[in-house]
Structure 1
Amino acid sequence: MKNPIPLRPARFIALALLGVLAVAAVIAYRNVRAARAVLHPARQPLKPVAEGMLSGRTDVVLRTRDGLALRGWYLPSRNRAAVAVMHGFAENRTQMLFEAEVLSRAGYGVLLFDSRGHGESEGDLVTWGDREREDLRAAVDFLSRRDDVDPSRLGVLGFSMGGTTAMLEALDDERLKAVAAAGAYPSLEADTRYSYGKWGPLSVQPALWTLRLSGVDVDAVDPMKRLCDLKGRPLLLINGDVDAYAPAFLQDALFQAACEPKTYWVVPGAHHGEYAKKAPEEYARHLRDFFDAALLSGS
C-alpha cells in the first residue's frame, strides 16, 4: 500500500480557512434567521380576563400617525391621572393585566393596548422601539383628549421592549410626566450584542445588518445616551436579579446613565417579568407610590 501523500502547508492552510469560513457562514445564517424571527413574531391570542378584573373597561382603537390601527382597552380615571401600559415582545396587552388592575384600583385611567405587529393590532414588522414610539404617541394623544383625564397628569409603564419604548418616547414627548420601565434594555445594539454575542462579531453583525436592512433604525433605539433629557421627570427602573434577558450589568448601566429623580428596584429571585409572581405586594406598592408621587402630588 502506498503511503498517503502529505498535505502541503499551503493546502493545509487553505482547507483550514475553508473550514473556518464554513463555520462562519453557518453562524451568520443562523443569526440572520433568528433576527428575521424577532422582526415578525407569531401573534399570541389574548388571555381570558378573570371575572371582576378590569371591570368597566371599554374597547378602543388607536390610530398611529403612520396609519396603523391599534386595539386595546381603556379603564376610566377616577383621580384625573392616567397611565399608558405597554407589553413586551411577542406578547399582547393581557401580559400586563396585573399592572393594569393595580393602577385601575388606585384610581388611574389605564390604557392597555397591543403594540404594532402584536395581538389584535395592525402591522407586521416589529422594530424593537423604533416605530413603536408611534404607538405610544397615539396612546398619549388618546389620553390627552379624554374628559376624565388632566393632560398634565400622564405617565407610562412598559415591560421589556415596552419599557425601552416608554423611555424613548418620553424623551421626545414632554406630555409624559413619569416613566416606569421594567426589564428594559438600554439600547437595541447593546441588547443585540448581549443576545447574539456568544460567537463574537460572526453572530452580532449579521443580526444587526438584518435589523437595519429591514428598516429598523438601530442607532435611534438608544435611550441610555439621552436619559438625562427627561429633564426632571421621574424614572422608575425595575428588574429581577436573575433576569437572563435583561442582565444586571445592562440595568446598572441604564440606571447610572439616568439623572435624578430616579429609582431602581431589584426583585430578588425574579426572572424576566416575574415581579408580580415573586413579590406581588411590593410590586403593586412600588407602582402606586411612584405614580402617586409623580402624577398626584399637588392635586
Structure 2
Amino acid sequence: MKKPIHPRPARLAVLALLGVLAVAAVIAYRNVRTARAVLHPARQSVRPPADGTLATRTDVALRTRDGLTLKGWYVPSRNRAAVVVMHGFAENRTQMLFEAEALSRAGYGVLLFDSRGHGESDGDLVTWGDREREDLRAAVDFVSGRADVEPSRLGVLGFSMGGTTALLGALEDPRLKAVAAAGAYPSLEADTRYSYGKWGPLSVQPVLWTMRLSGVDVDAVDPMAHLCDLKGRPLLLINGDVDPYAPAFLQDALFQAACEPKEYWVVPGAHHGEYAKKAPAEYERHLRDFFDAALLGGS
C-alpha cells in the first residue's frame, strides 16, 4: 500500500503567497475605484434658495486662468468688505447658505460659487485643493474689481475641501486679508492616510497613485507646512468635536502649525459641517466677530 502524497512545504508557501497577492490585488483594485470616485463625484443640482434668502443676490460667472467657467451668486457689500465662501466635496454653493446669510446680515459682500467639477460649473476632475486654488483666484479677481468693495478688505471662508483650498489660496494670494476654515484637512496625503489607512500602504498607495496619475499634485495640497507664511493675517479654524472626517488630532496639528494671530473654535456635539445645526447663534457670532476684527478693524 502506497503512502499518501502530501504537498511539499515549498508548494504550500507558494499557495499562501498567491493567496496573499490575490487579497492585496482585490484591496488595491477597490481603492483605485474609490480614488476614481472621489476625483469624479456625482453632481448635486443647484436649487434656488427659499424666498427671502440672499434676496439681493445676482447670478455671476467666473473665468479661471486655466479656462473654466464657474457659476455662482454675489450679494453686494454694504460695508465695503467682501468674503468669498467655498463649499465642500460633492456639494455646491447651496451648502453654504447659512454662512452667506450670516455674513450678508453683517453687511459683507458675499460670493458663493460652485467649484470645478461641482454644481453648474465646468470641469470633470476634482483635485482636492490643487487646481481649486485657481477657482479661488478667479473669485478674488471678481470681488476685488467690484465697485462696492474696497480691495484691501477681502476674506475667505471655506468648509472641508473648501477650507483647505481657502488656506492654500490665502497662502498664495496676499489680497486675502483673513481666512476662516471649517473642517479642513492639514494636507491631502495626511487626509488620505487617515481615510484609507485600514490596510496601511496596501490601501493608501493605490489612492495616492491614482490621484497623481490623474494629474493631482498631492504634495502641493499641504497648507499645514506653510501656515506661518500668512505673515500676520488672521486665521480662524472651526471643527466639531465628534467629526469623523476631520478628527481632533489632525485639527489640533493644523492649529499648532499656524502662527498668531489665530483662533480655534470647537463646536460641542458637531459632526462634519454641523456647526449651524448645533450652535447657530454662536457660529454666526464667531464668523461676524472674526471678519469684523480682521477686515473692519473691529468696527
- The equivalent residue for 1:84 is 84
Letter in 1 for 2:256: Q
Give how far 1:204 is off: 0.4
Residue matched to 2:245: 245
Distance 2:112 2:4 in 1: 71
Change (3 A) 1:71 1:2: farther
Asked whether 1:256 is paired with 2:253, we answer: no
- 1:290 paired residue number: 290
| 1:83-232 correspondence runs (5 A) | 83-232=83-232
* Alpha-carbon distance between aligned partners in 2 of 1:56 and 1:109, rounded to the nearest angstrom: 10
CA contact (8 A) 2:292 2:298 kept: no
Partners of 1:272 and 1:4 in 2: CA distance: 62
Q: Deviations over 1:86-114 (max 9, x none)?
A: 00000000000000000001000000000
Question: Given that residues 289 and 298 in structure 2 are in contact (C-alpha distance below 8 angstroms), is that contact kept between their aligned partners in structure 1?
Answer: no
Deviations 1:8-46 (A, max 9, x none): 110111011001000000000000000000000000011
Structure 2 counterpart of 1:87, which letter?
H
- Evaluate the alpha carbon distance shift between residue 8 and residue 265 of structure 1 in structure 2; reply closer, same or farther with a 3 A threshold: same
Q: Secondary structure at the match of 1:6?
A: coil
CA deviations 1:163-203 (Å, max 9, x no partner) are: 00000010010000000000000000000000110011000
Q: Tell me the distance in 2 between the aligned counterparts of 1:7 and 1:229.
A: 64
Find the aligned partners of 1:3 and 1:33 in 2 and give their Cα distance.
49
State the superposition RMSD in angstroms: 1.1
**What's the offset of the Cα at 1:298?**
6.9
Runs of 4+ in 1 over 4 A off after TM superposition: 1-4
Residue of structure 2 in register with 1:32 after alignment: 32
1:7 matched to 2:7? The reply is yes
Question: Structure 2 unaligned runs (5+)?
Answer: none
Letter in 2 for 1:236: L
Compute the displacement of 1:57 (Å): 0.2
Q: Distance in 1 between matches of 2:216 and 2:249?
A: 25
Equivalent position amino acid for 1:278 in 2 = K
Question: Quick one: structure 1 residues 4 and 109, their matched pair in 2 at CA, closer, same or farther if it must change by over 3 Å?
Answer: farther
Q: Which amino acid aligns with 1:84?
A: V
Distance 1:241 1:3, change over 3 A: farther
| Pairwise CA distance, 1:2 | 7.8
The residue type equivalent to 1:259 in the other structure is C
Q: What is the letter of the counterpart of residue 77 of structure 1?
A: S
1:48-104: CA deviations, max 9, x gaps? 411111010000000000010000000000000000000000000000000000000
In 2: Cα distance, 1:178 partner to 1:167 partner: 10
Q: Amino acid of the residue matched to residue 215 of structure 1?
A: G
1:115-159, Cα deviation, whole Å (9 max, x unpaired): 000000000000000000000000000001000000000000000
* Identity %, equivalent residues: 87
Letter of the aligned partner of 1:292 in structure 2? Answer: D
Distance verdict in 2 for CA 1:5–1:295, change over 3 Å: same
1:244-284: CA deviation from partner (whole Å, max 9, x where unpaired) = 00111000000000000000000111000000001101100
Q: Distance in 2 between matches of 1:245 and 1:3?
A: 60
Q: How many residues align?
A: 299
Say which SS state the counterpart of residue 16 (structure 1) adopts.
helix
Q: C-alpha separation between the residues in 2 aligned to 1:227 and 1:160?
A: 17
| Cross-structure match for 2:42 | 42
The separation in 1 between residues aligned to 2:298 and 2:194, in whole angstroms, is 42
SS class of match (2:43): coil
TM-score (norm 1): 0.98
Tell me, in whole angstroms, the C-alpha distance in 1 between the residues paired with 2:150 and 2:49.
28
> More displaced, 43-52 or 117-126?
43-52
